[in-house]
Amino acid sequence: MSTPLLSVRDLHVSFKTEDGVVRAVDRLSFDLDRGRTLGIVGESGSGKSVTNLTVLGLHNPMFTTVEGEILLDGQELTTARESELEKLRGNKVAMIFQDPLTALSPYYTVGRQIAEPYMKHNGATKKDAWERAVEMLGKVGIPNPRQRAKDYPHQFSGGMRQRAMIAMALICDPDLLIADEPTTALDVTVQAQILDLLKDLQREFGSGIIFITHDLGVIADMADDIMVMYAGSAVERGTTAQVLRSPRHPYTWGLLNSMPRLDSDTGVRLSPILGTPPSLLTPPSGCRFHPRCAFADRVAGAGRCTTERPPPATDRASACHLTADQKRTIFIEEIKPRLG
């Protein structure tokens, strides 16, 4: 195995706010290989978007403290200068945002916006870059791309704007593509088109993709590996099959149990996770999930979950004090039957 495309080691990100220090990301480590897709799933405020803004250096350095390592192809990004990051953005690393209308500028034509990174990073002429933009628009399925490249974003529908964003992200053939909830604002039939398009294009371009979402169904469809985040930390990591079919953390169990599926038993009530996600200004002591955890009382050693933080999740073990045997038995005997 060669070195991974992206390697994040023990990342801490905190923000200074008027009310105190918010620890948005805490003890986070993960790897991503070329051509693979890592799905990051978590609720709002779990730190999944912050992680990726930090990779691109898009945080405000005045109020943000970043510790740890982010290695892209061996290059350290946390200490990189702005001019170095500028060479990466849109070139080696590209991003697709949730809301394509606010991510595109209303003042420039779609074609010009797509061509811009190609001109900047490849030194192409305006004409060549325009030709390449038209070609990319055709590739992502915009009908009549030569004409539509002259349109402004407001003349595109929601699905077409997201296609234009994908064209812009892929025009420089990036090694790493970060997709932050790219289909959340779209309708389900359009979402299915865009997800399949991303998968098919990944096969052609060979990029590594970090796919951020709160929807377990979308992640099951897209990801090779999954990282589940809660309150700034990874609670569970593994391949998609491992995490979805034999999950090992009470939070993942809670997510799976609280979500109705098209084939679940309609007579059964949903089993929600109790309580609400914690504030990161004053996170709970010990395991950050313990106030909402239904299994904290089964951990050997009374009160251990409230005082001692479990070690960060690795590929083999979830971040939980339950023993490996307990996790397996609880899932098979208590969680799986309820999934129907």
**Residues in contact with another protein by the rule CB under 8 A:** 43-44, 138-141, 143, 157-160, 163, 187-193, 195-197, 200-201, 203-204, 214-218, 220-221, 241, 244-245, 254-264, 266, 269-273, 276-277, 336, 339
Nearer to another protein by Cβ, of 7 and 184: the residue is: 184
Nearer to another protein by Cβ, of 191 and 207: the residue is: 191
Identity of residue 237: R
Closest distance between another protein and the C-beta of residue 31, in Å?
A: 24
Which residues have a Cβ under 8 Å from the Cβ of 279 and sit 6 or more positions away?
none
Nearer to another protein by Cβ, of 160 and 305: the residue is: 160
- Residues 208/177, Cβ–Cβ less than 8 Å: yes
Closest distance between another protein and the C-beta of residue 189, in Å?
A: 5
Which three-class secondary structure state does DSSP give residue 27?
Answer: strand
DSSP output for 222-236: H-SEEEEEETTEEEE
Cα(285)–Cα(226) distance, rounded to whole angstroms? 26
Helices (H) and strands (E) in the chain, counts: 14, 10
Closest distance between another protein and the C-beta of residue 239, in Å?
A: 13
Please name which of 241, 246, 292, 301 lies closest in space to residue 271, comparing C-alpha atoms: 292
Closest distance between another protein and the C-beta of residue 272, in Å?
A: 4
Cα(256)–Cα(250) distance, rounded to whole angstroms? 10
Nearer to another protein by Cβ, of 17 and 125: the residue is: 17
Nearer to another protein by Cβ, of 17 and 157: the residue is: 157
Nearer to another protein by Cβ, of 51 and 213: the residue is: 213
Closest distance between another protein and the C-beta of residue 217, in Å?
A: 4
Closest distance between another protein and the C-beta of residue 37, in Å?
A: 14
Closest distance between another protein and the C-beta of residue 236, in Å?
A: 15
Which three-class secondary structure state does DSSP give residue 63?
Answer: coil
Q: Within 10 Å of residue 253's Cβ, how many Cβ atoms?
A: 25
Closest distance between another protein and the C-beta of residue 52, in Å?
A: 19
Q: In this structure, what token pair is assigned to residue 14?
A: 């905190």
Residue ranges with strand state E in 82-127: 93-96
Cα(308)–Cα(265) distance, rounded to whole angstroms? 38
Closest distance between another protein and the C-beta of residue 71, in Å?
A: 31
Task: Beginning with the edge strand found earlier in the chain, give each strand of the sheet holding 176-180 in spatial order.
Answer: 93-96, 176-180, 208-213, 37-41, 225-230, 233-239
Backbone angles phi, psi at 263, to 5 degrees: -115, 15
Nearer to another protein by Cβ, of 216 and 227: the residue is: 216
**225-230 and 93-96 beta bridge pairing:** unpaired
Cα(255)–Cα(91) distance, rounded to whole angstroms? 36
CA distances from 91 to 78, 163, 173, 180 (A): 18, 18, 7, 17
Nearer to another protein by Cβ, of 10 and 204: the residue is: 204
Nearer to another protein by Cβ, of 73 and 221: the residue is: 221
